[in-house]
Amino acid sequence: MLRMAMAKSGSLLMLAVLLVLRSGVGSACTFNMVNNCGYTVWPAVLPSAGQSMLANGGFALSAGESRSVLAPYGWSGRFWPRTGCNFDSTGQGTCATGDCGNKLQCNGIGGQPPASLLEITLNGAGGQDFYDVSLVDGFNIPVSLCPKGGSGSCKTAGCANNLNTHCPGELQMKTNGQVVACKSACLAFNSPQYCCTQGYTNACAPTFYSQLFKNACPAAYSYAKDDPSSLYTCHAASDYTITFCPSQLGC
């Protein structure tokens, strides 16, 4: 990532380089966020180390509302939905799921699992975008991530089913008696078998719980070693649509 030079000429050179990167091959990418849920969702953003912060890390998105966020060339990070939030006029408050330190704008703070994660690296190896929807730490609402304007496979990643409606009792997270999220087995039991750690690092097989997730959401990560069927690529997509509560996978 490009970062009062020793002289003004240095600043001008940096500006010129940035302008070049934002045109042609090195253009920025737009994330279009759409809320198809019948309630407000609070999208959150966490950039990878060294990457720029987008939208101050979070905002509110009312039912039926959409918002676009511009990401610079080569950006990487994750998005996730927060639900059941209540913030005051200063942006302080809490969320039932996906909370990031009791504030509206996460500004570099990750979300509290379980939450459905959307992860992406723009212009990675070979000029490819790499992206996925991960339920490795659990699920809170259906989400999808769909590329537009790119070439290659460019499939939609995501989970259109509401796992909360058939979440096993031992994985359920409840608020006021209502299931608001479904934990992964790793999060619920913290066992090497489910987390693919210790003796299971290199040989970690699907489990009863991960198969439940995979059967319901085949286009999402169900456990840590689920790469072959869950990691997607697209070359030079101009924008991505992030949909909360999609009726089906696709743009």
> What pLDDT shows up at residue 27?
72
Confidence at residue 26, expressed as pLDDT on a 0 to 100 scale: 58
Residues whose CB falls within 8 Å of the CB of residue 111, separated by 6 or more in sequence, listed in order: 44, 46, 80, 82, 98, 99, 100, 117
pLDDT of 36 strictly over 50: yes
* Interval 234-249: pLDDT, tens: 998 999 999 999 999 9
Give the separation between CA 58 and CA 243, rounded to whole angstroms: 15
Dist CA 139 CA 143 (whole Å): 10
- Give the whole-angstrom CA distance, residue 87 versus residue 219: 33
**What pLDDT is attached to residue 24?**
39
Q: So what's the pLDDT on residue 228?
A: 86
- Please give the mean pLDDT across all residues of the chain: 90
DSSP string, 229-241: TT-EEEES-SEEE
Helix (H, G, I), strand (E, B) or coil at 179: strand
User: Percentage of residues in the chain with pLDDT exceeding 70?
Assistant: 90
pLDDT of residue 12: 33
SS3 content of the chain, % helix, strand, coil (to 5): 20, 35, 45
What's residue 68's pLDDT? 97
The pTM score is: 0.88
7, HSE (Cβ side, Cα atoms, 13 Å)? 2
Handedness of CA 142, 68, 122, 25 (dihedral sign): positive
User: 142-169 pLDDT, tens per residue?
Assistant: 999 999 989 999 999 999 999 999 999 9
pLDDT at 251: 77
Domains and CATH numbers, the chain: 28-244 (2.60.110.10)
* Secondary element (H or E) of residue 187: helix 185-189
**What span, in angstroms and rounded, lies between the C-alpha atoms of 81 and 23?**
31
215 by DSSP, 3-state: which? helix
Please, which residues bridge with residue 117 across strands?
A: 134
* Cα(113)–Cα(111) distance, integer angstroms: 6
CB 70 within 8 A of CB 30: yes
Q: Residue range 32-61: average pLDDT?
A: 97
